Amino acid sequence: MVTEVYLDHNASSPLAPVAWRAMQPFLRGFVGNASSVHAAGRRARAALDRARAVIASAIHASPHELVFTSGGTESNVLALTGYCAANPTARLIVGGTEHPCVVKTADALAKRGTDVRRLAVDAYGRIDVEDVPRQLDARPALVSAQVSNHELGTIQPIRTIADAARSRGAKVHADAVAAFGKIPIDVDQLGVDMLSLSAHKIGGPVGIGALYVRGGTSLEPQMHGGSQEHGLRAGTEAVALAVGFAAAVESAVRIRERVAAKHARLRRRLLARLRTHNISFVENSPRADVVANTLNLAFAGADRESLLIQLDLAGVRVSAGAACASGSIEPSPVLLACGLDESRTRCALRVSFGPSTSEQHVDLFVDALGPALQRARIAHENF
């Protein structure tokens, strides 16, 4: 009997059993710093090197191009801030619907004097590729865009964006946190110079991520100290987390196509059952060029905070957008950037599936949604 319906995998996906098992030897009784030269240190280094090779292989990169970080946010911050620090006259160009850690990093850099530009997007958050060369000039530049959007699931034409940027001498960074493990990622096919990853979105442990840095990309470290991570990220490496990350990556890549097909079926089932139950909604997510696990829906007349509370009381866990923006009563910046009116953004929910999501989870969500909408609309009318 399902007692909890967890449909917030874009915020965090449960630790995969395979990752937990892989980490156990390094959490119980194992002692060793990967920078130490003695036998324990060499064992730690060997485990770290194996993990790095597994993750690099999954994105068709070389192990020496992969820098371990504390997660997707640090990877994005290192890419943007590190590049601008190494290239003080550079212009930073970011997509119009990026994750808050990219948006706020860009804002912070702008306050320090960096020339920051935003790329125009359409109603589904897809970047206007023709806007890329318009934002470039003779100075160095970094173009940063998500592979897929964390709220809408929209897949960006990264290769086309990269071609346009690199033809003008610009470097390209892609945030693949929401896409990795769900669609194929190949840094050469994408044409990117940097790419951000996170473990806990694909069943790995919280607290570790990675940044791919193509050779020849100038980057200033943002954490200083030892020479770990090719001199780009000081601090003792978290061997257990890296091992768990690698195990989750191997599992995600192995089951990726099967899970994506299941998510596409669940997506169709959810939409069909909403119609069967006469629940009025609007799809904010696109129907094509979208990651199958992510669906953003608007329910007119229902305040999203009230709706989230009602669903939570019924045991259904969904979200209104990025987890790091939770608690905010402001409209979603992603949906506003897409040109949606504020009233539609205030009644929007994000549903995101994971490998364990079943038809029963979808059915229970829809069954709980009708009563939750009624109560949320009454609360909104009485507010």
The catalytic residue positions are 324
Residue 191 makes CB contacts below 8 A (sequence gap 6+) with 158, 159, 162, 163, 166, 172
Q: In what order do the strands lie in the sheet with 282-283?
A: 282-283, 294-298, 348-352
Calpha distance 69→263 (Å, rounded): 29
Query: Rounded to whole angstroms, how far apart are CA atoms 311 and 278?
Result: 18
Q: Scan for tokens 């086309």, then name that residue.
A: 160
Q: Label residue 39 exposed, middle or buried (CB < 10 Å: 0-12, 13-18, 19+).
A: exposed
Can you tell me the distance from the alpha carbon of 173 to that of 285, in angstroms, rounded to the nearest whole number? 24
User: What phi and psi, each to the nearest 5 degrees, are found at residue 161?
Assistant: -60, -45
Which tokens sit at 355?
């490998």
DSSP string, 76-118: HHHHHHHHHHHSTT-EEEEETT--HHHHHHHHHHHHTT-EEEE
- Closest by CA position to 208, among listed 164, 260, 250, 248: 248
